[in-house]
Amino acid sequence: MMRRPLGQPPMPLNGPRYNEFIQSPKVRVIDENGENLGVMYTREAMEQAAEVGLDLVEVSPNADPPVAKFLDVGKFKYESQKKANLARKSQKTQEIKEIKMRPNIDDHDYDTKMKKVHEFIEEGDKVKITLRFRGRELAHGQLGMQVLQRVQADIAEVAKVEQHPRMEGRQMLMVLAPK
């Protein structure tokens, strides 16, 4: 059975570098109270952090010199993970909802479809209106255009037209987005 050779522990794969994993020879150090201690050698800063009972954590690795702070690594990772989860939770993904109509749609059916369009727009989703033509209806494209213009006029105060009506095969499409 092979054993792992003694020596340095493996480099942390995720999260900030800390203590012996900091590769820069000099760092700008901030203590546990948030006071700037200035630029010093990494070894010296690690010793000072150990005296206080904390780790030296690289908080801004891209600065010149990198900024390191006296922190508890576990607590720092936990809090940053908690922030990331909260940001992901509050994020709203925008979906595209589809409403299908026909060129000779009746008034009540139209009103019902428009209620759903209003609901989707208020939720922050985009709405794709599809007008499907069958048989001889295809010869009367202007009827479909009138229906889509009516939709556009009815929804003008809450949504904007992201994609103007266009024919795609046997159907006419239009995409609405919330204002």
Residues 23 and 75 reside in one and the same domain: yes
Residue at a domain's end among 69, 88, 107: 88
Of 88, 115, 141, which residue sits at a domain end? 88
pLDDT at 169 over 80: yes
Strands in 126-132's sheet, in edge-to-edge order, are: 96-101, 126-132, 171-178, 159-168
Tell me which of 60, 88, 116 is where a domain ends.
88
List, in order, residues 6 or more apart from 45 with CB less than 8 Å away. 27, 29, 37, 56, 68
In this predicted model, what pLDDT tens digit does every residue of 143-155 receive, in sequence order? Answer: 999 999 999 999 9
Q: Which phi and psi (to 5°) does residue 118 adopt?
A: -60, -45
Write the pLDDT tens digit of every residue in 78-90: 998 999 999 888 8
Q: Is residue 2's pLDDT more than 90?
A: no
37 with 69, same domain: the answer is yes
Asked if 84 and 112 sit in the same domain, the reply is no
**Structural domain count of the chain:** 2
Cα distances from 78 to residues 66, 83, 90, 91, in angstroms, run 22, 9, 19, 20
Q: Are residues 82 and 106 in the same domain?
A: no
Say yes or no: 109 and 159 in one domain.
yes
In terms of domains, do 100 and 77 share one?
no
For the four alpha carbons of 65, 67, 69 and 75, in that order, the dihedral sign comes to negative
Q: For residue 140, is it within any domain? A: yes
Task: Specify the CATH number for the domain of residue 56.
Answer: 3.10.20.80
CA dihedral 22, 27, 31, 32 (to 10 degrees): -30
Same domain, 103 and 160: yes
Could you tell me if residue 9 is inside a domain? no
Q: Who's near 70: CB < 8 A, 6+ residues apart?
A: 29, 30, 31, 32, 48, 49, 52, 54, 55, 56, 57
Q: Is the pLDDT of residue 12 over 70?
A: no
> Is residue 164 located within the same domain as residue 114?
yes
Same domain assignment for residues 125 and 156:
yes
Given this model, what pLDDT does residue 92 score? 77
Q: What is the mean pLDDT of residues 30-37?
A: 92
What's the pLDDT at 148?
Answer: 95
Query: According to the model, what pLDDT value does residue 94 have?
Result: 81
User: Which domain, by its residues, includes 132?
Assistant: 96-178
End-to-end CA distance of the chain: 65
Domain CATH for 125: 3.30.110.10
